[in-house]
Amino acid sequence: MNLQELLHKDELTRDEIIYLLHLTDKEDLQQLYARADEVRAQYCGDEVHLRGIIEISNFCEQNCVYCGLRQDNNSLPRYRMTPEEVIETARIITNLGIFTIVLQSGEDNHFDTDIISYIIYQIRQQSNAAITLSLGERTFDEYRAWKIAGADRYLLKHETANANLYESYHLKQKLSERVDHLKFLKSIGYQIGSGNLIGLPMQTSEDLADDILLCKELDLDMAAFGPFIPSPNTPYQHKLSGEAELTLKVTAIARLVLKKVHIPATTALDTIDPIGRERGLTAGANIVMPDLTPFPYREQYQIYPGKRGSQDDPLESTARLQKRIEALGRKISYKRGDSLKLDLQQPL
Ligand code: SF4
């Protein structure tokens, strides 16, 4: 089978995914990215959906070895936004015409059931924006309460589908538990997002193929693939960063395998490659997630160092991002951009 036949197959096997991950020839890679772009256009159209992120707290009770927010990183100044600051930032985001609000934090139990429910309820009162929670692994009762309060989506990355690696990266957590949480979230009506880090120490092409296949098995609504970037004051601070090309390959292959799913061109990719967003958006991605966290907090949400745009004014940086998307000839969507698997695309 030649490469074009492989790229047009309806289903790819694990071995075929691994074969594609090993492509290095420039022309072969161009064919892979062009095919992923075609599949993206077929299943998602040309619109790029924006998700406005508010990083509500950088406290975290976990100690993931690759992450700058880990609890043992005592050198990081910690912050929590007040509920009023979060609600006001959400209002600013919807005024920009962005109708997905992502509330993101480390695992911070200070933001308990009631506080998060209150924030969700207040955002709900001011607009019809979709609300995505990205608050780490929480209790099933909390997920349920927040769904009732009006949350629409939950983003919980599986990080790696290799259970042994998972346990070496996350000292107190298990992959099976993370998968159970994702399944539970889906069962109670959340649109779910997950995904992995590319280029983590000890990770193999087989692991990356399993990551993509796990995304398929979970029937995700959104799948995110970002490069690992070493963070100071963590056990992995001296490890090598993941590569942009490998991240693009995973993104493109994931588009071929998952088809009808939202895939972001990630900020992490844009941090290690000056045209990372453009490369992602032309290799299968269809969403971008601008960081609209206000100063001074945005500089302190340091999962990894040098995050692109973290020193810039959030509104100016989002405007620049919009221009970059339009320069690709892609249209920006001003709708919620719900799951492509739902019939309930809600017009505003
Ligand atoms: S990856 Fe998430 S859970 Fe792990 S330390 Fe970072 S913020 Fe906390």
Bridge pairing between strands 287-288 and 222-227: unpaired
Q: Which of 290, 300, 255, 230 is nearest to 80 (CA)?
A: 300
In a domain, 191, yes or no: yes
82 φ/ψ sector (left φ>0, alpha ψ -120 to 50, else beta): beta
Site to substitute for ligand 1 among 58, 64, 133, 228, most atoms within 8 A of C-beta: 64
Q: What is the CATH number of the domain that holds 163?
A: 3.20.20.70
Atom of ligand 1 at shortest range from CA of 136: 3
Residues spanned by the domain of 171: 32-332
pLDDT of 344 above 70:
no
pLDDT category at 345 given cuts 50, 70, 90 is very low
Mean pLDDT confidence for 26-41 = 98
Contacts of 238 (CB under 8 A, 6+ apart): 230
pLDDT at 187: 97
Instruction: Reduce the DSSP state of residue 194 to 3 states and report it.
Output: strand
Whether residue 348 is contained in a domain is answered as no
Q: Which two tokens stand for residue 108?
A: 């911070």
Q: Please say if the pLDDT value at position 346 is more than 80.
A: no
Cα 70 to ligand 1 centroid, rounded to whole Å: 6
**Alpha-carbon span 229 to 201, nearest angstrom:** 11
Q: Give nearest CA residue, ligand 1 atom 7.
A: 106
State how far the Cα of 122 lies from the Cα of 94, in Å rounded to an integer: 13
Q: Tell me phi and psi for residue 287, to 5 degrees.
A: -135, 160
* 15 part of a folded domain: no
Which of 236, 303, 304, 307 to probe ligand 1 with, by most ligand atoms within 8 A of CB?
Answer: 303
Dist CA 251 CA 35 (whole Å) = 12
Average pLDDT score, the chain: 96
Of 244, 169, 175, the C-alpha closest to 214 is 175
CA separation for the pair 268, 45 (Å, rounded): 24
> What band does 1 get if pLDDT is binned at 50, 70 and 90?
confident
Residue 339 domain flag: no
Site to probe by mutation for ligand 1, drawn from 53, 61, 67, 73 as the one with most ligand atoms within 8 Å of Cβ, is 67
pLDDT in tens, 174-226: 999 999 999 999 999 999 999 999 999 999 999 999 999 999 999 999 999 99
Two tokens, residue 248 = 């693009």
C-alpha pair distances (Å), 161 with each of 7, 19, 66, 205, 252: 24, 18, 16, 12, 18
Q: Round to whole Å and give the CA distance between 86 and 116.
A: 10
342 found inside a domain: no
How much is the pTM? 0.96
The answer to whether residue 113 is domain-embedded is: yes
What's residue 268's pLDDT? Answer: 96
Is residue 21 a part of any domain in this protein?
no
Say how many domains are in the chain.
Answer: 1
Residue 281 inside a domain? The answer is yes
Q: How many CA atoms lie within 13 A of 209 on its CB side?
A: 14
Distance 122 CA to ligand 1 centre (A): 26
Pairing state between β 47-50 and 52-57: unpaired
Q: What is the pLDDT of residues 266-312, one digit of tens each?
A: 999 999 999 999 999 999 999 999 999 999 999 999 999 888 888 88
Give 347's pLDDT tier (boundaries 50, 70, 90): very low
**Percentage of the chain with pLDDT > 90?**
94
